[in-house]
Amino acid sequence: MDEYDGMQFVGIDLHRRRSVIVRQSESGEQLSAVRILNDPVSLQLELERAGVDPEVVLEATYGWYWAVDVLQACGARVHLAHPLGVKGFRYRRVKNDVRDAGDLADLLRMGRMHALRRLAARQPPSTSRRSLPAPPRDQRQLAQATVAARPDH
């Protein structure tokens, strides 16, 4: 954990290949903003910097299940935001991933995320119905997955 010992709020702008994670203090000070590759180890290492039992929010976009599994295994209190229910995102003049993740953390920290549900209250689909990583979606991904699965690589 970094030098800040208080409660931390974490906003995650989750994408298919990379994600942005913003950590904030209780007063709203941005402690860090990092871009990671989407894999469980990277997410776990970054979440460890947020201390014990951080409050984490991410949008319920395509492929969020694996991230929630990792976050909950690390002890985080995970909240899901409906992508269309996040007020204010549409009306901003500047839109980027760091800003999105920071705004999610801000809304959670200030208690203004009305569309949020704590995942402890919901049962996500069983792991047998989910896949990690997601199946290839295009020709390039299929070729990469095929090459990676060869025994000589």
Which percentage of the chain shows pLDDT scores above 90?
A: 38
pLDDT tier at 136, thresholds 50, 70, 90: low
pLDDT of residue 21: 96
Mean pLDDT, rounded, for 30-43: 94
Rounded Cα distance between 47 and 44, Å, is: 5
Asked whether residue 46 carries a pLDDT value surpassing 80, the answer given is yes
Rounded Cα distance between 127 and 64, Å, is: 12
Tell me the pLDDT tens digit for each residue of 54-111: 999 998 887 888 999 999 999 999 998 877 766 566 666 767 888 888 988 988 898 8
Tell me the range of 90-94, 143-147, 149-153 where mean pLDDT is highest: 143-147
Residue 56 bridge partners (DSSP):
10, 78
- The alpha carbon of 140 is separated from its chain's Cα centroid by a whole number of angstroms, namely 25
| Residue 39: C-alpha distances to residues 25, 26, 51, 121, 152 (Å) | 25, 28, 20, 25, 23
- Please give the model's pTM, rounded to 2 decimal places: 0.71
Domains of the chain: 9-149 (3.30.420)
Instruction: Report DSSP state, residue 31.
Output: E
Q: Count H helices, E strands: the chain?
A: 4, 6
pLDDT tier at 151, thresholds 50, 70, 90: confident
Instruction: Give kind and range of the element (H or E) at residue 117.
Output: strand 117-118
Higher model confidence: residue 18 or residue 2? 18
